[in-house]
């Protein structure tokens, strides 16, 4: 199932300050024994955004507390709605227990004397003849739902000295590229940056994810977004990394931070 089909199959219900949705988590969106973090986060946001009174998403704090698979339930509740911002908590659980805890902050832009643009994009958008990367057997299943055009000289599990990744990413399904949840769903698509330093496969998993959106309505052409991940620490089985997203116009639309657990 594509992103668009998945969300269509799981209508949001509820009233007042609470919302909910339920579905059988699509196997094509899994990685190992759990649901891909971008999709589980998108499901949480699907339930939460109806409670934001039309405000755009500004920031998300997400904890991946356990694996998610099979029958999946998502609930969301409004924590507080003020004059300019609203905070919404969402929880995803499945037969395996609690999977995701998230707090989304929605806040509209307002006039300000301050303007500091984000960093410029370090790569040009893919051309019309660009061919998506072919991944080897054994790659996470959710990869089949996305197109990747690599934009750096490092790659996961290739023994690089630099823990860095840069790739253009979009949904393979054209109908999903303009979906309101498309960006959140693919924003966690890169393997942890520290994986480029490993010489062979090892399990890695996101523990926490913070992502801040710099514009009210991120937009791009042909569904392409440029994702960057740069690890700044690794040790004791954990790694931390910075993450950045640009659109095809070269504008920085989101910044993120992640803690990753590494079994190597």
- pLDDT tens digits along 46-83: 999 999 999 999 999 999 999 999 999 999 999 999 98
Report the chain's mean pLDDT, rounded to a whole number: 95
User: Based on the number of CB atoms within 10 Å of its own CB, is 76 exposed (0-12), middle (13-18) or buried (19 or more)?
Assistant: buried
| Same domain as 44, residue 165 | no
With respect to residue 69, please indicate whether it lies within any of the assigned structural domains. yes
| Same domain as 101, residue 200 | no
Q: Is the pLDDT of residue 133 over 90?
A: no
Calpha distance 203→252 (Å, rounded): 30
With respect to residue 114, please indicate whether it lies within any of the assigned structural domains. no
How would residue 119 be classed by pLDDT, with cut points 50, 70 and 90? very high
| Same domain as 101, residue 125 | no
Q: Is the pLDDT of residue 30 over 90?
A: yes
Q: Is the pLDDT of residue 128 over 90?
A: no
Calpha distance 18→47 (Å, rounded): 9
Calpha distance 88→134 (Å, rounded): 38
With respect to residue 113, please indicate whether it lies within any of the assigned structural domains. no
Residue 60 CA, distance from chain mean position: 10
Which of these three, 108, 131, 150, is where a domain ends? 108
Per-residue model confidence (pLDDT) at position 76: 98
DSSP string computed for 163-228: -EEEEEEEESSGGGTTSTTHHHHHTT-SPPGGGGG-SS---EEEEEEEEEESSSS---STT-EEEE
With respect to residue 176, please indicate whether it lies within any of the assigned structural domains. yes
Give the mean model confidence (pLDDT) for residues 8-24.
95
Residue numbers of the domain that contains 162:
119-264
Residue with the larger pLDDT of the pair 95 and 6: 6
Calpha distance 88→56 (Å, rounded): 12
Share of the chain above pLDDT 90, in %: 87
Number of domains in the chain: 2
Domain at 249, CATH number: 2.40.160.210
Give the mean model confidence (pLDDT) for residues 117-126.
94
| Same domain as 162, residue 69 | no
| Same domain as 101, residue 5 | yes
Q: Is the pLDDT of residue 135 over 90?
A: no
Whether 233 and 239 have beta carbons less than 8 Å apart is answered as yes
Calpha distance 198→163 (Å, rounded): 9
User: Based on the number of CB atoms within 10 Å of its own CB, is 214 exposed (0-12), middle (13-18) or buried (19 or more)?
Assistant: middle
Per-residue model confidence (pLDDT) at position 173: 98
Phi then psi for 185, rounded to 5 degrees?
A: -65, -40
Residue with the larger pLDDT of the pair 33 and 226: 226
How would residue 225 be classed by pLDDT, with cut points 50, 70 and 90? very high
| Same domain as 137, residue 100 | no
| Same domain as 87, residue 188 | no
Per-residue model confidence (pLDDT) at position 136: 83
| Same domain as 190, residue 157 | yes
Give the mean model confidence (pLDDT) for residues 166-184.
97
Nearest CA-CA partner of 36 in 86, 117, 92, 115:
92
Q: Is the pLDDT of residue 138 over 90?
A: no
| Same domain as 161, residue 88 | no
Strands 71-81 and 85-94: antiparallel
Q: What is the largest CA-CA distance in the chain?
A: 52
| Same domain as 222, residue 99 | no
Per-residue model confidence (pLDDT) at position 35: 96
How would residue 110 be classed by pLDDT, with cut points 50, 70 and 90? confident
| Same domain as 123, residue 101 | no
| Same domain as 123, residue 78 | no
């Amino acid at each position: 199932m594509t992103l668009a089909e998945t969300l269509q199959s799981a209508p949001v219900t509820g009233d007042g300050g609470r919302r909910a949705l339920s579905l059988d988590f699509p196997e094509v969106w899994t990685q190992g024994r759990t649901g891909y973090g971008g999709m589980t986060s998108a499901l949480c946001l699907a339930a939460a955004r109806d409670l934001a009174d039309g405000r755009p998403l500004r920031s998300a704090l997400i904890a991946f507390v356990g694996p998610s698979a099979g029958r999946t339930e998502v609930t969301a509740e409004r924590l507080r709605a003020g004059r300019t911002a609203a905070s919404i908590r969402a929880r995803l659980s499945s037969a395996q227990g609690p999977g995701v805890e998230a707090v989304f902050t929605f806040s509209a832009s307002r006039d300000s004397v301050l303007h500091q643009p984000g960093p410029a994009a370090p790569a040009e958008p893919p051309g019309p003849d660009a061919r998506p990367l072919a991944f080897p057997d054994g790659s996470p299943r959710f990869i089949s739902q996305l197109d990747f055009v690599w934009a750096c000289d490092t790659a996961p599990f290739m023994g690089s000295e630099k823990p860095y990744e840069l790739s253009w990413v979009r949904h393979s399904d054209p109908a999903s590229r303009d979906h309101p949840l498309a960006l959140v769903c693919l924003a966690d698509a890169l393997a942890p940056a520290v994986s480029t330093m490993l010489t062979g496969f090892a399990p890695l998993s996101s523990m926490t994810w913070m992502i801040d959106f710099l514009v009210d309505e991120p937009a791009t052409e042909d569904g392409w977004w440029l994702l960057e991940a740069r690890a700044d620490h690794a040790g004791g089985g954990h790694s931390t990394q910075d993450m950045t997203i640009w659109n095809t116009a070269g504008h920085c639309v989101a910044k993120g931070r992640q803690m990753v657990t590494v079994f190597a």
